[in-house]
Structure 1
Amino acid sequence: MRQYCRSGEQRLASLTTFTDEARIALDTVSSRASDLLSPSLRLGVTGLSRAGKTVFISAFVHNLIHGGRLPLFEAQKSGRIARAFLEEQPDDAVPRFQYEDHIHALVDERIWPDSTRAISELRLTIEYESASGWNRMFSRGRLSVDIVDYPGEWLLDLPLLGKSYREFSHDAFELAELPVRADLSEAWRKLSGEIAADADADEMVARKLFEGFAAYLKAAKLDERALSTLPPGRFLMPGDLDGSPALTFAPLPNLGDGKARPGSLHAMMERRYEAYKTHVIKPFFREHIARLDRQIVLIDAMQALNSGAAAMLDLERALTEILACFRPGRGSFLTDLFTRRIDRILVAATKADHLHHESHDRLQAIVRRLTQRAAGRANLTGADVDVVAMAAVRATREGTVKQGRETLPVIIGTPLKGETIGGEIFDGKTETAIFPGDLPAKVDSVFEAGDAKNHRQDQDDPAIRIVRFRPPRLERTAEGVTLSLPHIRLDRALQFLIGDRLA
């Protein structure tokens, strides 16, 4: 099975046409001209569902606007940031990221905001004093960060641009037959086997096949399996395309090498697949991905860890496909006038506040190994790639409890209403302390293929106990000023992503 995009210029050529590249170049030239007067940086924020994209962006902006505690973010630590504020975004056709609504949910209602369902954008402008006297003479000390929020599921569609419908179908069935997926895909595979690809096109048959395929993808995404490689992404998050013919298709088995008969089901599915690539995937790449300067990829590694080695291997496959379809590297002065490239990529394992800090190094080591393997296969030449274990909003604090003669490290927080621990159902108001468990000390053990045959661990003894907590109650000063959102290593993420641009 072809799991990854091709490398180098061949890979980029498979994603765009000459016309696409010309439009990208014109857009880049216009943007570079604007940057001479008002420097900007386009930061992509992506991740698979429930990885915490909305929370990350909200915390990113809130901490900069409110002067949060960011000791590893050098410009803030040294007092060189004069102010940070929101401005009107440059792209009028892209929905605005509703920062104010999300902060109201986090701070006032203490509920987690709704997840990313489509693309959105927000411009945060930072006024600062350069650390260099030379730069202070020639720079205005102003940087606009255009934050582009988009679902990682849509990014996983990009490899489809390099695949024919026949190749897509072959790969989809090969994935569906893996032990971790076989029972979930059984009904759809059985239905597909009963329908002849060369039969006359039938809208109701196409709809049944699509619904069966989409149901299998959605089941594979649930916490029990926590799988990540599930294209086409719009089948999981259709946005405004829900119900359109461009989404009403599915893979077909045993297509052979012959050309589809006109008027057949095969021809219908193939036409819709190509329409999906032309009208959905290509514009997404051209108008958003090809315009990025920096990128953060958020992953929920702990849910995959709890689901076993098969889920971790699938997360690695997904991360490889995501990284392989960025435009990495650094260009020359001339090439940068016409083409943007992503020169820094951060892979962040979220929800570190669900673990005691003693396990943070292990989580980061696991994600580093995951990223190194994925980045090596994706051939990210020229881009700086780093990893971090973080929590953009810290919902817990740490403590210890005595259990007999043993002292256990615990995390303390308010579980969401309906969460269950040891048979106790929480009301969303009661604070509790839990021992979250320990991550494996041996990094390689979580990727061992032998374990991948077992699609889940013993549910009575998971690697870590994942409990969803309410956002924290913010502290207030004696003067009644609400402090910024607490976090774990958000400052390190900021330093890597934008610190050099504020030097």
Structure 2
Amino acid sequence: MRIPIFDDLRDAGSRILEQAGDLAGGLLESDVRLGVTGLRRAGKTVFVTTLVENLLKAGRLPFLDVVSSGRLQGARLRPQPDPDVPRFDYEGHLAALTGPDPHWPEPTRGIGQLRLSLRYRPGSTLKRTVQPVTTLNLDIVDYPGEWLLDLPLLRQSFAEWSGLTLTLAARPPRDALSSSWRGWLATIDPAAPAEEEVARRGAALYTDYLHACRRADTLLSLIQPGRFVEPGDLKDAPLLTFCPLPGSQRGRGSLWQLMEERYEAYKTSVVRRFFSDHFARLDRQIVLIDVLGALNAGPAGMADMKRALEMSLEPFRHGSAGWLDWLFGTRIDRVLFAATKADHIASHQHTSLRVLLDRLVGDARGAIRYEGAAVETMAIAALKCTESVVTEHEGRQLRCVRGVPVGRDRPTILFPGEIPDNADAFPDGQERPYNFLPFRPPADLARDGRGLPHIRVDQALQFLLGDYLE
């Protein structure tokens, strides 16, 4: 004989247990937002593609603990949480790399996002007792490096920014690139009444100068404002119609006042909005840098990259001295600076590449560590295109790389040269002593189904996400 009250109690108990299980599952399911950006030609599109492909396949991640310990059960692409952000075209970029005619994918021009859900068994006995399997939702936010370099504008007045920009533009190699714009500046009076056509002419010449910096063989990295070269839907908008001006004339109705107002509008509507909507929500960040390209560019390119790296570190200052904290309440607590294209040099040179990057960011990194954020440097290759080989030349052994250089159709053995271990290692009288060549993606990249070959992407993931996957 069944007693209804006991049935009701049993059903209520089942519901409570089910709700408790759902609550425990919710507590153990976590989200992490990883920002991926890079200075010019650093290969962030390929990095994100490799990261996603290898997490989906889990075949080439021996230094990611959740994989090496056998705790990762699988990964799956899921709908991204922000429907108003363009989706990162992982499938299209993977097809470009692994198709019949492998080629480098087109770089992304704006922000992109992708969500990857990782199911894994916790390493902690306590966590496994509550729930044997849990999920980490990894939201990857990919954005141009110029947007990161815009952040210091938030604490600079128009006069301060103008002075710094004009000083930099007058120095080699930027002086030649900016000559038309600076020549125009010499013909106008910033205190004169504002005229729209004058403002548009100045902005156009300044934008041409920024594009010239971007195309320069000297690999100039410091480009501000970022939306001048990647305007997106802001093309021809008045808030992109300004440029730095000499002096400090703030007369009512003057050209100076018009430019200053548009500069402040850019900060409010573009810079502040991007960092409040996206950057301030990041948990971890990786910044990719083409250090080898800067070495090819010579001392000027290396010095410009050093300035850009120092500026890119400013957003990650935490603690009482962190000016970004009170602006947006940032929570980024781990930052990785990665020198890319490590496969373009012999493997024994990877340490020297990392040491060189470490010295480029060393001073600012120390301050950030003091204020609470973990900052590391690493030499990686998002896609391994070469093999290290040893050859004999004139009676001595050389460590070289073998791959297919861009513009050629067959494997070639090259001696790429030695990497200096400091930022000033350019021989006297030799402006460009280095010539590190780019390589094509290898054929049959996806033939074994284990993911894309790389160098230290798994170690980068361990630093950035390892604690979330414990």
Alignment partner, residue 168 of structure 2: 175
Structure 2 residue 341 is the aligned partner of structure 1 residue 362: no
The alpha-carbon deviation at position 350 of structure 1 amounts to 0.3
The alpha-carbon deviation at position 379 of structure 1 amounts to 7.0
Structure 2 residue 358 is the aligned partner of structure 1 residue 391: no
TM-score, normalization by structure 1: 0.82
Query: Which structure 2 residues correspond to residues 14-29 of structure 1 after superposition, within 5 A?
Result: none
Amino acid at match of 2:417: G
Preserved CA contact (<8 Å) 1:119 1:151: yes
Structure 2 residue 420 is the aligned partner of structure 1 residue 445: no
Amino acid at match of 1:438: E
Q: Of 21, 26, 39, which residue of structure 1 is paired with 2:30?
A: 39
Structure 2 residue 295 is the aligned partner of structure 1 residue 305: yes
Instruction: Check 1:306–1:59 CA distance in 2 against 1; reply closer, same or farther (3 A cut).
Output: same
Q: Of 149, 153, 158, which residue of structure 2 is paired with 1:156?
A: 149
Preserved CA contact (<8 Å) 2:221 2:304: yes
Alignment partner, residue 5 of structure 2: none
Amino acid at match of 2:76: F
Q: How many residues align?
A: 439
Secondary structure of residue in 1 paired with 2:84: coil
Secondary structure of residue in 1 paired with 2:316: coil
Secondary structure of residue in 2 paired with 1:266: helix
Amino acid at match of 2:77: L
Structure 2 residue 121 is the aligned partner of structure 1 residue 129: yes
Instruction: Check 1:89–1:436 CA distance in 2 against 1; reply closer, same or farther (3 A cut).
Output: same
The alpha-carbon deviation at position 377 of structure 1 amounts to 5.6
Give per-residue Cα distances to partners, 1:190-236, cap 9 Å, x unaligned: 11111111223222222221122122222223352212222111112
Secondary structure of residue in 1 paired with 2:424: helix
Preserved CA contact (<8 Å) 1:201 1:268: yes
Give per-residue Cα distances to partners, 1:464-499, cap 9 Å, x unaligned: x2222111223566xxx5331100111110110111
The alpha-carbon deviation at position 352 of structure 1 amounts to 0.4
In 1, Cα distance between equivalents of 2:47 and 2:35: 12
Alignment partner, residue 53 of structure 1: 44
Structure 2 residue 208 is the aligned partner of structure 1 residue 208: no
Amino acid at match of 1:151: P
Range with bigger deviation, 303-312 or 315-324:
303-312
The alpha-carbon deviation at position 154 of structure 1 amounts to 0.9
Alignment partner, residue 258 of structure 2: 268
Query: Which structure 2 residues correspond to residues 454-473 of structure 1 after superposition, within 5 A?
Result: 457-459=430-432, 462-463=433-434, 465-473=435-443
In 2, Cα distance between equivalents of 1:297 and 1:346: 6
Secondary structure of residue in 2 paired with 1:399: strand
Preserved CA contact (<8 Å) 2:40 2:219: no
TM-score, normalization by structure 2: 0.88
Larger of the two Rg values belongs to structure: 2
In 1, Cα distance between equivalents of 2:274 and 2:192: 33
Q: Of 276, 292, 305, which residue of structure 2 is paired with 1:315?
A: 305
Alignment partner, residue 158 of structure 2: 165
Structure 2 residue 286 is the aligned partner of structure 1 residue 296: yes
Give per-residue Cα distances to partners, 1:360-403, cap 9 Å, x unaligned: 11101111111222324667610111110000111111223332
Q: Of 186, 191, 197, which residue of structure 1 is paired with 2:190?
A: 197
Structure 2 residue 85 is the aligned partner of structure 1 residue 94: yes
Preserved CA contact (<8 Å) 2:318 2:368: no
Secondary structure of residue in 2 paired with 1:312: helix
Q: Of 45, 53, 57, which residue of structure 2 is paired with 1:66?
A: 57
Alignment partner, residue 489 of structure 1: 456
Secondary structure of residue in 1 paired with 2:86: coil
Structure 2 residue 416 is the aligned partner of structure 1 residue 436: yes
The alpha-carbon deviation at position 306 of structure 1 amounts to 2.2
The alpha-carbon deviation at position 180 of structure 1 amounts to 3.1
Give per-residue Cα distances to partners, 1:56-113, cap 9 Å, x unaligned: 1110010110122222111111111000111001001111111111111111141111
Aligned-residue RMSD, C-alpha: 2.4
Amino acid at match of 1:112: W
Amino acid at match of 1:41: V
Preserved CA contact (<8 Å) 1:81 1:128: yes
Give per-residue Cα distances to partners, 1:22-70, cap 9 Å, x unaligned: xxxxxxxxxxxx9747310000001113111111111001011012222
Preserved CA contact (<8 Å) 2:98 2:445: no
Instruction: Check 1:188–1:35 CA distance in 2 against 1; reply closer, same or farther (3 A cut).
Output: farther
Alignment partner, residue 363 of structure 2: 373
Q: Which runs of 5 or more structure 1 residues have no equivalent in the other structure?
A: 1-33, 418-425
In 1, Cα distance between equivalents of 2:180 and 2:194: 21
Query: Which structure 2 residues correspond to residues 202-351 of structure 1 after superposition, within 5 A?
Result: 202-255=195-248, 258-262=249-253, 264-326=254-316, 328=318, 339-351=329-341
Alignment partner, residue 142 of structure 1: 135
Instruction: Check 1:378–1:130 CA distance in 2 against 1; reply closer, same or farther (3 A cut).
Output: closer
Preserved CA contact (<8 Å) 1:160 1:277: yes
Instruction: Check 1:304–1:389 CA distance in 2 against 1; reply closer, same or farther (3 A cut).
Output: same
In 2, Cα distance between equivalents of 1:219 and 1:362: 31
Secondary structure of residue in 2 paired with 1:46: strand
Give per-residue Cα distances to partners, 1:152-190, cap 9 Å, x unaligned: 101111111111211111111111122332222222111
Preserved CA contact (<8 Å) 1:72 1:491: yes
Alignment partner, residue 465 of structure 2: 498
